[in-house]
Each structure stands twice: as C-alpha cells, then as structure tokens.
Structure 1
C-alpha cells in the first residue's frame, strides 16, 4: 500500500478570471510559477539578506517533538537571534522551525520587497508571515485554525508539501478538539499497516522550488517537509462565508481553550485519550476493524 497522491497542477500567466473560475471558487490547489516574477524578493531574499535585515531579532523556534503531559502544544523549544538560527540551518540538518514571523511587526522594511497579487482576493494585509525550517524538519498534518486561504511563496530551498481536501478528513486520523492529525504519524513514510485509512485518502503533492507560489484553499489539510533549509512567505485571505466564520470563532475561543485546559488538568492521559479516539473514529469511518 502507498498514499494516493496526484501532482498539484502548475500554471503560468494565469489571469484573475481563470484563477477564480478554476481554482479559488472550487477551492482547488494550484502552483503559480510566475506570481512573484517582478518582486524584489525573488532576487534578494536569501539567508545572508535576512541576516543583514533581521539578524538581531529574537525569534521563537519549534522542534518536531510532540507535546506531552501538561505542556502547552504551542510553546517554543528555544528563542535565539535570527542570525544564530540561520547559522544552525547552514551547518546541517535541524528540526528547528520558525513560523508566523510577522514582517509588518518585526521587520517592516521588508514589505517593500513584495506586493499583494492582483487576483481579486481581499488579503489580510496585517499578517504577511515567514516560515523557515531546517533540512529534514517536518510540519504535522493540519489545517489552519482561522481557515485562511494561503498563498505560500517559496524563496529559499526546497520543500515537499502534501495536501488533502476537507472531504478526506474522516480518513486522516484527526485528533479530537484540535486541527491536527496524530503527531506520531510520519507522512513522509507512514506505517500503512498501523494507519490503513491513510491509503484510502485521496490527496495531492508537490515540491516547491525557488519562486513557486502554492495556493492552499481554506480548510485544506497540509503537511510539509523541508528537503533543504528553506524560507517562505505566506500571504493570507480570511474566509468570508458565514459558516466558516462561525467555525473560526469556535476554533479560537472554545476548542483551543478547552484543549489547553484539559491538558493542564489531565496531562498525558488527555493526550492518550485523544489519540485513542482518533484511531477509533477514523477506523470506524473507513470501515476498518
């Protein structure tokens, strides 16, 4: 058995009208190869440039270890200057990742290096964010809590991405009271004997190179592996449907707070309970005994 994945289509010279009709409205992913072709970032953004522009900024770093016991699932592993983190990335493999580095807040000069694409999309311009990771680091399968539409521009390095649409959620071992799959599952080489429902799920994959822009529709699951040290920019468009907005509020105000409270009260027993329920629900949905 192996994962059922098809390649995400690649397009160039995609008009605003074609993007809406073929991808945005049906919520289908696409790689737009030339969306950043006239941005200064396409030529300027590399690790040396960020050492110069943002090297002294203290950044939180996250590792690949699942949260355990009563620890907060969102806590950083360490905090160091950006330049020191870049040094770590350039030495060799590292599971340390930096995400949601807000350019507008931390390094506003860099917003002059890019512009918001004219795709007929209302972007959330207060949150242009960087994602950086070391060779071999991985991001657990998840969807975004705020259900944003993501436009993910890769500028340094190479990364592999796996996507699944929302209608495949029942097969992905979703953990209750969360927006993640079971953290123990390695989507790079999943144990399909232990997690057979994954073989039934139908998804998409791609490898992002320099200059590629990946459109990840709202509510789509995504998993990422940094094949090399990589730096990417994500521009976000928030959902507008009333049903989506209701789910966002529930995710942020109810689900997340409840999960953190139960972690504090029950510790590892709560995590074990959620993982057990994820297995039971997924296998029941997939008809696996």
Structure 2
C-alpha cells in the first residue's frame, strides 16, 4: 500500500492566505466551510436535482478500458437525470455523469453558488457537475487543460487520491493522453508489476458535503464515490506558461492526433501506447537508480 501524505485542512481561509500558501506554491488544500453561506449548501441534494433537472438527458460513462472505436470522452449511455438518480439510489453502479455544464443545462442552479474570491481568474461559463454511485470511481488522470481546480462536494462522501505532476514520469502515462495504464489498481497497487509506483508520493483526501478540494494545475487525481453523491468543479487557466502551452497542445493537437490514429490503426494504436507507457516509465526508473 502507499504511504499517503496528508492534505492540509482549514475551516476557512482569506484570499491572501490561499494565494500565498497554496496557489502560489501549487499545493492542495481542503477548505471545509467555504460553501456554508451558499444556498447550495442547504439545497443541493438528489431530490433537488431531480426537481430542477430531472428531465435533462445526461451522458453517462463507465469504467471500461479505452477502446479504439470510441473517441475521447464519448459517453457510454444516456438517460434522464431522474432515472439516473433512481439508479444511483437503488445500489452500486459504475455509471457516472462527467462534465455536466450547469449554465448550459440548468441556468437556475447558478443562483445557488458563488464564485469564491481566492485570487483565481475563474471561468464563469464552465461550472461542471460530476455524479457517481457508491463504489464507482474515476480513473487516474489529469485534466487536459491543466487548469487549477476548485472541487466542491455535495450530498455524500468521496475519497480522492492526488499525485503531483513531478511524479508523472513514474505513472505509466499513456502517450498522447492524460491517463495512465488503466490496469493499475490504485486502491491496492502492485509494486512488483508496476515498480514505478514506488517512486511516487500520493496524497489522500476525504470529502464530505460542502467541502472544497483545491487541486493545483496538472495534478493527477483518482476519485472514488463512497456513497451516491455529486461534485462541482470551477477552474482557472494554468499559472505556469509551460503548462498553458501544453494545455493548448493537448486540446488542439494531441487529442485530435490520438483520435485520428485510433481510427486509422484501431487496437494496434492502443496496444502501442500501452507498451510505450511501460517503456517510458522503465527508462525513468533506470535514470533514478
């Protein structure tokens, strides 16, 4: 098992404290009571979501490995929000909602939250919701835009594992993608099969209703829903020029090239990338020894 670093927890924090102690050094933190004066703190539960957004058709994703016949972020299914919440509350399911845009789908929900003044230039048009059932998880990845993320959790319990970008060379990262080898079990890592994991420093966070996790730009994250629940992410552009450049390359070059090669070579392309992930990490290990 990993030896986890503990993420700082504070009840509240000033703009200057957040900026100097966490944003500037790119360090994660959990702020426990940032949302207590939001209407969302009282209102955001599954009954409310069904009432205000129950008729919306939502895209659903499962944990199947990347397939050559699917584009990046292509949903596995769709259904009404009401039916999906009923499914969540009946029992475990691996179907999740990913990147549900509040402003586009349910504009009235914007009245329920505020954009916190923490010194970040947050995108006002991109508040996104994420839903999952008990036991479901979001594979280890980093966000394609390398944004700074404020991740607010509601209506249940969630566990997050974070890994700093400096450890990417040991993560069996898939080329032209923002994921690592999908056959790695981060809940119970096999250090013999995946020796690079011995060199990483993971952080663990437990989130309850109303708590916010700050994830600095480019940090890997693996999310596990302990109970049916949902979260909202707000984001701002990458602070480091190199990360901003890489974000542009990820979105406009690498993603399109990857989709093109999947279409052209199919499973052969997937197998090639999976193999390169091992080769590249082994090189990093050899240089570290």
TM-score (norm 2): 0.96
2:4 counterpart SS class? strand
Q: CA deviation at 1:113?
A: 0.4
* 1:70 and 1:266 in contact (8 A); partners too: no
* 1:197 and 1:286 in contact (8 A); partners too: yes
Q: CA deviation at 1:70?
A: 2.7
Aligned equivalent of 1:278 = 277
Which segment drifts farther, 176-185 or 104-113?
176-185
CA distance in 2, matches of 1:253, 1:120: 28
1:38 aligns with 2:37: yes
Q: CA deviation at 1:240?
A: 4.4
Q: CA deviation at 1:73?
A: 3.4
* 1:218 and 1:239 in contact (8 A); partners too: yes
1:214 aligns with 2:210: no
Aligned equivalent of 2:257 = 258
1:151 counterpart SS class? strand
1:186-197 correspondence to structure 2 within 5 Å: 186-197=185-196
Question: Between Structure 1 and Structure 2, how many residues are aligned?
Answer: 288
* 1:4 and 1:200 in contact (8 A); partners too: no
CA distance in 2, matches of 1:13, 1:74: 35
Aligned equivalent of 2:24 = 25
Aligned equivalent of 1:89 = 88
Which segment drifts farther, 181-190 or 124-133?
181-190
Q: CA deviation at 1:238?
A: 1.5
Aligned equivalent of 2:60 = 61
Q: CA deviation at 1:241?
A: 3.9
1:59-109 deviation per Cα after TM superposition (whole angstroms, max 9, x unaligned):
000000012233223211111000000000000000001011111000000
1:4 counterpart SS class? coil
Q: CA deviation at 1:176?
A: 0.7
1:217-257 deviation per Cα after TM superposition (whole angstroms, max 9, x unaligned):
01111111111111111111122443222211111111000
* 1:62 and 1:76 in contact (8 A); partners too: yes
CA distance in 2, matches of 1:197, 1:246: 27
1:128-167 correspondence to structure 2 within 5 Å: 128-167=127-166
* 1:154 and 1:211 in contact (8 A); partners too: yes
CA distance in 2, matches of 1:102, 1:249: 21
1:141-195 deviation per Cα after TM superposition (whole angstroms, max 9, x unaligned):
1111111111001011111101111111011110111111111212112222211
Aligned equivalent of 2:268 = 269
CA distance in 2, matches of 1:80, 1:237: 30
1:283 counterpart SS class? helix
Aligned equivalent of 1:16 = 15
5+ residue gaps, structure 2, are none
The two structures, once aligned, show a CA RMSD in angstroms of 1.4
CA distance in 1, matches of 2:239, 2:22: 16
CA distance in 2, matches of 1:58, 1:130: 14
CA distance in 2, matches of 1:237, 1:71: 29
Q: Which runs of 4+ in 1 moved over 3 A?
A: none
Aligned equivalent of 1:78 = 77
1:7-50 deviation per Cα after TM superposition (whole angstroms, max 9, x unaligned):
11101221111111110000000000011110010111000000
